[in-house]
Each structure stands twice: as structure tokens, then as C-alpha cells.
Structure 1
Amino acid sequence: MLSQKNNLFSIALITSLAVGITSCGGSTPTATVKVDGSSTVFPISEAMAEEFQKANPGVLVTVGFSGTGGGFKKFCAGETDISNGSRPIKESEIELCKKGGIEYIELPIAFDGLSVVVHKENNFASCLKISELKKMWEPAAQDKIKNWKQIRPGFPDSKLGLYGPGTDSGTYDYFMGKTVGKDKGSRGDYTASEDDNLLVQGVSTDKGGLAFFGYAYYEENKDKLKLLKINGGSGCVAPSTATIADGTYKPLARPEFIYVNKEAATQPEVKAFVEYQLAAANSKLISEVGYVPMPEDIMMLVRKRFSDGKVGTVFSNAPKGSKVKQLLMKGK
């Protein structure tokens, strides 16, 4: 964790980088940083943008949430400066960026765990196995698995309602990859939305409902929802800042990313905003929005990756069980 002194130094340094992009009047933005992508990473970028703009009123940071896949489409077309990802870039997106002439710098910024939640009044489900999640979500379940009693003997004769991100979402890709199997997809007869707030609203009003989304959205809405433990093969574990950070919440804990257009990173406003995010990534701001800060030894490698302008990906198609620090060291 950065000391308070080092945090203040980093912020002062970043502010000095942005002096040239602050308007004379100090209130009218004269430069823009465009961010889009994952709805899961959105709260981090939104919080960072808000604080950054307070110190740099000459910069407008716009943050959208088209989903990880939707964000990469815009990013690889040169429409955005930064793309948020709740999973690493895919091969198809790598090719898309090549075609668009976009070089990118891949930066993990925080840890998150996918939360599986049910209605607050659900009194029978407390822990689900990965195999049971597969049974619910696999393509073969469409029009067939419609009732909780089909999931496990002893569960009630109660209609099962499923809610989750759409197929453009990195959260969807990650969840399905860990439950159903990589590139297997899912059933299509569920309520899909890129807006996690709509998923919260859906499952909180459906007594037979189940949904999955980032841990931060559960934390923000825990008074409306019941959080389930997950058995990934080593017993039932609930997501928490501790279990996400130490890797015991398996297999639904993951890093979150930002991808920076290398050419855009030469612009002072983009460079300053990225450096602000990386300097603040170990601060309480990450925790305040419900995510888990990365250790300082990892963040040192992330900051070096950005300062060196290291392009490409070390996380896409990484071997199973790879650690963030190992991949960053390998990509030095």
C-alpha cells in the first residue's frame, strides 16, 4: 500500500502533468478523455473521473458502459481512448484492433469477484456448486430447466428466473467460461442487460430469481439481495474483499482491466488520467466502490508497463492458474 506521502507525491506529479490542459478560467473543459466498455469496471472509472476532474477542471472525462465486447468494438475503431474490460481482450478483438491500426497497453487495475445472488426471501439456497450453475445456464437448459427442484433434490417446486449480462459483456464471458465452459455460450431464455442496476431490480422482485454480476454491485445493493456461497471444489466460499484478494473464492475471482490506446496515451490529458488511476489504485477509492485493490508490488509493475509503453496482451489465453504478478513479470 502506498504511504500517504507517496500518494500525495503521485497526485501532485499527475496534477503537474495536467497543467498544460487546464483552461485559463479553470472551469470550462478544453480537452476530453473518452472511456467506454465494461459495466463492471464503470464504477471505478466513474469514481476516478470525478476525482480527477476536480483537480483538473480543464479536462472532461466521459465514461460509458457498452459492455467489454461493445467497448472493444469502439476502441478498435479509434472511437475511444480507454476501454474498460472485465476480462482480457479476445483473439477476435486483437485482430479487430490490428485492422483498425490500434496499438494498446493492457493494465490490470483491481480485483473483483462475481457475485451470485437470489431474492432476499429465498430460504433454501445458500451455496451452489459450479456443476449446478452449469445445469442452470448451459445451452441445453433452454426451455428445459425452469424450476428450482430440477437443480437439486430438496429444492422447492418454484419457478427459476435467470438474470445476467448480455453476450457483449466481459462478465458474461468470464462467468460462462468458468461455469459452462469456454466458448460454450449459454441458454438464451434469460433476462439480459448490460446495466447491472436492471439485473439487481429484476432479481430483487422475483422470488425465484438468480443473477450474477460484479461484487461491487452486490455491496451497493446488499439490503435487497441474498448472496450465495460458491463451491468451486474446495467447499463453500462467499465472495468478500479477503477471499477475492487471496484467491480462495474460486473460480469466480478475477482482475479488472483498462486498455489504453498507445497513440492517445501521448496526449497529456489521457496520460495524466491513466497515471492518476494507477497512482490511486491502491488508495481507499478502489475499496469505496466495492473492489479489491491490487498489492503495491503488482501496481509497481503495472505503472512500469504504462510508462514503458508496453503494447500487447499477456493475459489473453494465459495458462490456467496463472497469477497476475507472474504474467506481468513475464511481459516485462
Structure 2
Amino acid sequence: MRYLLCLLIILLVSCSDAGKFIKVKGSDTEVKLAVSLAENFYKVHADFSVAISGGGSGLGIASLLNGQTDIANSSRPLNAEEIVLLKAKGIPIRTVIFAEDATAFIVHKDFPLDSIDVMSLAKVLNGQYKTWKPLTGKDIQINIYGRQSNSGTHSFIRSKLKIEFSRDAKEMNGNAQIVEGIKHDRSGIGYVGAGYILNNGTEQPIKVLKIIAKPGSIAISPLDIKAIAAHQYYFQRPLYQFIPLTSWNKVSAFIDFEKSAAGQKIITTSGYYIIPK
């Protein structure tokens, strides 16, 4: 992603004290929020230096395993294999859940539906439905805009729907690329972080589908803050930070800032949601 090249520059500040140089890697869902938090953290902790990059939850966790990061941002929990590897390498960690996110399913602004039920969505994404005819009556090929398998969002959707993605699904590098694809594809469907939509304006030439969790239930939008607070949206999830204990003393000031009133305000104004206490 183009903006990632900038992110590495925004917060790389010369710092002679390695004990105050923090490396954050991982989830693309979290990366813009992490940058905003770090920029404001630096205003009150100018002696720290923070470098942030994305690449996906899997990359962040791999960096954790390889000793290449102080904080691994992840939009999914550790899987069984990763837990075993951490134990085998003798890397004890602390887990911080610092915010909550909702995944939005987007289509072109002129798409004829405003909502979709979970069962139909599963059939679309796993390739059982090849065209939109069963849902819209139009025999138009479905184009899926998704993420690579190392993406936490990819894993989250697959787990929630209990599916394997269609082999025809396009693997995109991040939210921006998916949105750009959907803007120009009237038969496309993709998934992005709701925070990304809120952060970049809702007036884009795309439509955010409401989700019907089960027959007879109401359609819920991931942009409905009250519904998210009530945990009514089917595709909402916690956002994780995995921190090796060897880095805890270094990063604790940053974690404290996230939990402060200023940090919590940044989380909400960035389009994400605060974890209820």
C-alpha cells in the first residue's frame, strides 16, 4: 500500500536510547489507528520514537516470533500453531485488547441490494453462488475482493461464516485497494474495516451493506455506533496487541496512553470502538 511507505517515515524519529525506540508491526486494520495514537503519544513523550508498519496480522505475529517487533498488532487471536511456536521459542507475551472493530461488506453505490443475510453472504464468498441471480435476479458474475490468507480480517470472516473462500476471490493488499476496486465494479463485493470507511468519508461511490444475522432479525449496519455498542452486529471483533515480556517496560507508556482519556478519544474519533469496562 502506498501509505505504508509514509507511515514508516512519519514516526521514525532519531533516538539514541534504544530503550525508547518502539517497533509496531502487523494488522492493516489497525495501522492507521496505531499511527494516530503514536503521533499523539509523541506529543507528550517526545523522548520516544515509534516506527509503525502494516502488512497483515500474520506478518506482525511472524515478526513477534522472530524478535523483530515490540508490539504485534493483530485483528485476530493467536492460532494454535502460533501459541506452540511462542512456547517453543521461549517467548512469553502479554495480550492487550485496546479497541473493537467491525468489518463492513461493500458493493458499488448502484448495487440493487441494501442488505444481505449471513447465509447468502457465505454462499457468495465461498463460490457457491457464481452470479448475483439468486439474490438480485440479474445473471451477472460475482467478483470478490478479499485479502491474503495472512490477513486477520480474512481469517475472521472465514471463521465467522465457517467457509473457505472461493478460489476466484481477488487477493488485495488492503482496505484502500479493495475500496478502489469496488468503486469501478458494479458486480463486486469486498470487505474492509468499518473504521476505514468512517475515517475516509462515507460519501464515496460505494455502498455499505447491512447484515441480517439470522432469518427474521433486523439488518444492522457496521456504521451504527449504538448497534456496535450493544454487540448487535454480526461481524464485530476485538483488536489485539501481542507484546513480548522483554518489551513490556519499553512499551508500557504507550499502552497507558491508549487507555487514557486522550487515547480513548482518538480511538472513537478514528471510527473504532472502545472496549466496555
Same topology, TM > 0.5: yes
Mapped to 2, the partners of 1:108 and 1:59 lie a distance apart of 22
Where does residue 316 of structure 1 map in the other structure?
Answer: none
Q: Deviations over 1:180-228 (max 9, x none)?
A: x1xx431222121232111111111111111111111122242221011
Where does residue 78 of structure 2 map in the other structure?
Answer: 89
| Structure 1 spans left out of the alignment, 5+ residues | 1-26, 299-332
Counterpart check, 1:29 vs 2:15: yes
For 1:1-332, list aligned pairs within 5 A: 28-30=14-16, 31-122=20-111, 124-138=112-126, 141=127, 145-149=129-133, 151-152=134-135, 154-179=136-161, 181=162, 184-219=163-198, 220-224=200-204, 225-233=206-214, 234-239=217-222, 240-249=224-233, 251-267=234-250, 270-280=251-261, 283-295=264-276, 298=277
Contact 1:169 1:194 in 2 (8 A): no
Structure 1 ranges of 4+ moved more than 3 A: none
Offset, 1:173: 0.8
Contact 1:37 1:64 in 2 (8 A): yes
Question: Which protein shows a greater Rg?
Answer: 1
Contact 2:257 2:263 in 1 (8 A): no
Q: Which amino acid aligns with 2:177?
A: L
Contact 2:26 2:59 in 1 (8 A): yes
Query: Residues 67, 28 of structure 1: CA spacing in aligned structure 2 closer, same or farther, 3 A cutoff?
Result: closer
Normalising by structure 2, we get a TM-score of 0.87
Identity %: 28
Which moved further from structure 2: 161-170 or 56-65?
56-65
Query: Residues 272, 245 of structure 1: CA spacing in aligned structure 2 closer, same or farther, 3 A cutoff?
Result: same
Count of residues in correspondence between the two structures: 257
Where does residue 301 of structure 1 map in the other structure?
Answer: none
Contact 1:111 1:245 in 2 (8 A): no
Normalising by structure 1, we get a TM-score of 0.73
Offset, 1:290: 0.7
Mapped to 2, the partners of 1:80 and 1:99 lie a distance apart of 18
Offset, 1:281: 7.2
Q: Deviations over 1:223-256 (max 9, x none)?
A: 221011101012311112211111111x211111
Q: Which amino acid aligns with 2:150?
A: D
CA RMSD after TM alignment: 1.7
Contact 1:110 1:281 in 2 (8 A): no
Q: Determine which structure has the larger strand proportion and give its number.
A: 2
